[in-house]
């Protein structure tokens, strides 16, 4: 009996492989025969599994090795388009030959959704769509979504010493996904999220039409600024508003052992950090690495050390910040500093798209509305010590975040939230179950201390454990579970926009915005 079953499985597998191969060949023929691309003689942007470039492109996409050799399949083809016409053709041919699409701008999505899929799919890697145009006359920029944050920061600094953009710390993160999920960074208290500073966009829908803010309408423009662009189409470019920064900013990093003193300091920090002047951002990283635990207070002040020191002495004297701790620099140097590069590094390091060290990781997130008691902080520290590489990263809110209404964008975690906390564990090798079990325990332990009804989560720290399953990409009832954690009351509006903008649910993945049940 078992042998018959094995034979049937093998026969099915062979048929499936032949089917996929035939579809792959048909897809390539579809791309090459499209009249709009007739002028191209060499389709060097189409990479099959037989291409020398295929494996390196796939490896560059996989920023979380946890998903390498997972149960999900590899893409049938990787498309690296140079223009909108090639993307449009990829959409047309995918629909014609039954492939799903995955869209990658940087590949840093936590659950690998931009480069994994359980059904045959084509990966559209936007690495070649990375032009950046800075316009200081109106303090705006157009940035294509294949560009990285580091490339954006570098290009701004080449034009101005007093302009910046409020986005994340990791320079190799792709602009497209980062902005469409919200975008937290060191300027969040001064200028809000990256998505709060978007003023226009180009989006290609499932019909291959390119829409700007006016033609897509305010509902869809609202949805892609924090609701996850990949649910609605392919973001081609963002028009962003640059923000002013002083020529001189100040940073400091103060470290303490993970002990009772650290618990007291973090406890005090919680009461202070969200109420400080918006020019001052102090984050806390609780970490345990190779047997050593530290509480790290990491700050950016939009001003000089002479202004910062009396402010710290008055508002947070317990931290004991001294003049020697403070380093004055330009804003672009602070981007290098927070990215973890050596202090002597030139701005060109921000242009490196290659992540030098990749390790498997799993993360979860929470929003904190009441200061965590010592029991919660001690519990986190105790659990961090059980892992080789583990973190609890706390980013303060307040300032500008208190001024933006929770329905002004899909990101609802605004006034009333003291901070966001991310729990993160990293490992090498295949011991996934143990490490994921550890972070599940931390998440369960924190339940009574964080936001509730719903318990909030941050979309850019994507967590499939919040609720998904087979068919979840088209199930409204399943989507409610995770949708309200990410978006609270904004979830229903996102569902309505999705139903209007992509009525055939072409753009979908395990946690894409579901369709309205009609």
- What is residue 314's three-state secondary structure? helix
The radius of gyration computed from the CA coordinates of the chain, to the nearest angstrom, equals 23
Give 324-369 as a 3 state SS string. Answer: HHCEEECHHHHHHHHCCCCCCCCHHHHHCCCCCCCCEEEEEEEEEC
Distance CA 103, CA 234 (A): 7
Tokens for 93? Answer: 């041919």
Reply yes or no on whether the pLDDT at 194 is more than 80. Answer: yes
Q: Could you read off the pLDDT of 410-454 as tens digits, one per residue? A: 999 999 999 999 999 999 977 789 999 999 999 999 999 999 999
Going by the DSSP 8-state scheme, the letter that residue 429 receives in this structure is S
Reply yes or no on whether the pLDDT at 465 is more than 90. Answer: yes
pLDDT score at 39: 46
pLDDT score at 233: 98
Mean pLDDT of 73-98: 93
- What is residue 452's three-state secondary structure? coil
* H or E, element range at 422: strand 419-427
Mean pLDDT of 231-251: 98
Distance CA 352, CA 98 (A): 36
Residues 6+ apart with CB under 8 A from 402: 414, 415
Mean pLDDT of 60-82: 80
Q: Which of 61-65, 95-99, 305-309, 349-353 has the lowest mean pLDDT?
A: 61-65
Distance CA 449, CA 2 (A): 52
Mean pLDDT of 294-320: 98
Reply yes or no on whether the pLDDT at 70 is more than 80. Answer: no
Q: Could you read off the pLDDT of 118-154 as tens digits, one per residue? A: 889 999 999 999 999 999 999 999 999 999 999 999 9
pLDDT score at 11: 39
Q: Could you read off the pLDDT of 3-47 as tens digits, one per residue? A: 554 444 343 344 344 445 557 788 888 888 776 555 444 568 999
- What is residue 486's three-state secondary structure? helix
Distance CA 474, CA 451 (A): 28
Tokens for 58? Answer: 């796939």
Residues 334 and 157: beta-carbon distance below 8 Å: no
Confidence of residue 60 (pLDDT cuts 50, 70, 90): confident
- pLDDT higher at 65 or 434: 434
pLDDT score at 400: 98
Tokens for 44? Answer: 């060097």
The CATH architecture that domain 130-245+329-355 belongs to is 2-Layer Sandwich (3.30)
Q: Which of 54-58, 438-442, 511-515 has the lowest mean pLDDT?
A: 54-58
Reply yes or no on whether the pLDDT at 282 is more than 50. Answer: yes
- Residue indicated by tokens 């497209």: 176
Share of the chain above pLDDT 70, in %: 91
Confidence of residue 68 (pLDDT cuts 50, 70, 90): low
Residues 163 and 244: beta-carbon distance below 8 Å: yes
2-128 has which fold?
A: 3.30.43
Tokens for 60? Answer: 């560059």
- pLDDT higher at 108 or 63: 108
209-215 LR contacts (CB < 8 Å, sep 24+): 210/84, 210/236
pLDDT score at 8: 44
Distance CA 66, CA 409 (A): 32
The CATH architecture that domain 249-325+357-461 belongs to is 3-Layer(aba) Sandwich (3.40)
Reply yes or no on whether the pLDDT at 198 is more than 90. Answer: yes
pLDDT score at 477: 65
Residues 354 and 56: beta-carbon distance below 8 Å: no
pLDDT score at 439: 97
Confidence of residue 50 (pLDDT cuts 50, 70, 90): confident
Helix 432-445, helix 374-384: angle, nearest 10: 170
Reply yes or no on whether the pLDDT at 474 is more than 80. Answer: no
Give 88-151 as a 3 state SS string. Answer: HHHHHHHHHHCCEEEEECCCCCCCCCCCCECCCEEEEEHHHCCCEEEECCCCEEEEECCCEHHH
pLDDT score at 37: 57
Tokens for 67? Answer: 């998903």
Q: Which residue out of 121, 153, 154, 461 is catalytically annotated? A: 461
Confidence of residue 2 (pLDDT cuts 50, 70, 90): very low
> Exposure of 299 by Cβ count < 10 A (0-12 exposed, 13-18 middle, 19+ buried)?
buried
- Rounded alpha-carbon distances, angstroms, from residue 382 to 286, 385, 498, 501: 11, 6, 43, 47
Tokens for 448? Answer: 């009574």
> Exposure of 103 by Cβ count < 10 A (0-12 exposed, 13-18 middle, 19+ buried)?
buried
pLDDT score at 470: 40
pLDDT score at 476: 63
Residue 461 bears catalytic tag: yes
Confidence of residue 518 (pLDDT cuts 50, 70, 90): low
- Residue indicated by tokens 């978006």: 487
> Exposure of 379 by Cβ count < 10 A (0-12 exposed, 13-18 middle, 19+ buried)?
middle
The phi, psi pair for 131, rounded to 5°, reads: -75, 150
- What is residue 235's three-state secondary structure? strand
pLDDT score at 43: 66
For the chain, the structural domain boundaries read: 2-128, 130-245+329-355, 249-325+357-461, 466-518
Helix 374-384, helix 260-272: angle, nearest 10: 130
Q: Please provide the average confidence, as pLDDT, over all residues in the chain.
A: 91
pLDDT score at 32: 80
Reply yes or no on whether the pLDDT at 479 is more than 80. Answer: no
């Amino acid at each position: 009996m078992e042998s018959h079953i094995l034979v049937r499985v093998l026969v099915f597998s062979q048929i499936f492989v032949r089917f996929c191969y035939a579809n792959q060949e048909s897809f390539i023929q579809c791309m090459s025969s499209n009249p709009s691309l007739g002028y191209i003689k060499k389709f060097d942007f189409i990479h099959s599994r037989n291409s020398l470039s295929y494996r390196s492109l796939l490896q560059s996409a996989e920023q979380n090795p946890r998903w390498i050799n997972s149960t999900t399949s590899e893409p049938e083809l990787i498309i690296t388009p140079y223009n909108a016409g090639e993307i449009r053709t990829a959409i047309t041919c995918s629909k014609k030959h039954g492939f799903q699409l995955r869209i990658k701008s940087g590949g840093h999505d936590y659950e690998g959704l931009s480069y994994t899929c359980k059904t045959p799919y084509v990966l559209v890697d936007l690495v070649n769509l990375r032009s950046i145009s800075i316009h200081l006359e109106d303090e705006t920029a157009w940035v294509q979504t294949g560009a990285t944050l580091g490339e954006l920061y570098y290009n701004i600094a080449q034009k101005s010493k007093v302009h910046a953009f409020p986005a994340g710390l990791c320079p190799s993160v792709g602009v497209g996904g980062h902005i469409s999920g919200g975008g937290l960074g060191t300027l969040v208290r001064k200028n809000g999220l990256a998505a709060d500073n978007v003023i226009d966009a180009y989006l290609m829908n499932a019909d291959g039409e390119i829409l700007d803010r006016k033609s897509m309408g305010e509902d869809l423009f609202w949805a892609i600024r924090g609701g996850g662009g990949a649910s609605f189409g392919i973001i081609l470019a963002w028009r962003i508003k640059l923000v002013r920064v002083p020529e001189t900013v100040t940073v400091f990093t103060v470290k303490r052992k993970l002990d009772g003193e650290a618990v007291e300091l973090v406890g005090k920090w919680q009461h202070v950090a969200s109420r400080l002047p918006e020019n001052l951002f102090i984050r806390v990283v609780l970490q345990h690495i190779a047997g050593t635990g530290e509480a790290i207070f990491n700050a950016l002040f939009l001003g000089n050390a002479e202004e910062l020191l009396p402010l710290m002495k008055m508002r947070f004297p317990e931290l004991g910040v001294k003049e020697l701790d403070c380093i004055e620099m330009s804003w672009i140097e602070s981007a290098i500093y927070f990215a973890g590069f050596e202090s002597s590094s030139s701005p060109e390091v921000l242009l490196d798209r290659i992540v030098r060290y990749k390790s498997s990781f799993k993360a979860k997130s929470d929003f904190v509305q009441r200061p965590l008691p010592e029991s919660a902080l001690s519990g986190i520290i105790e659990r961090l010590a059980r892992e080789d590489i583990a973190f609890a990263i706390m980013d303060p809110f307040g300032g500008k975040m208190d001024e933006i209404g929770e329905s002004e964008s899909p990101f609802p975690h605004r006034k009333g939230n003291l901070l966001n906390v991310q729990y993160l564990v990293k490992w090498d090798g295949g011991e996934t179950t143990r490490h994921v079990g550890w972070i599940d325990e931390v998440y369960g332990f924190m339940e009574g201390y964080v936001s509730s009804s719903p318990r909030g989560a941050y979309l850019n720290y994507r967590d499939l454990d919040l609720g998904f399953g087979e068919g979840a990409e088209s199930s409204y009832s399943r989507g409610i579970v995770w949708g309200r954690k990410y978006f609270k009351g904004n979830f229903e509006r996102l569902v309505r926009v999705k139903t209007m903008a992509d009525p055939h649910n072409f753009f979908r993945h395990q946690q894409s915005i579901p369709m309205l049940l009609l």
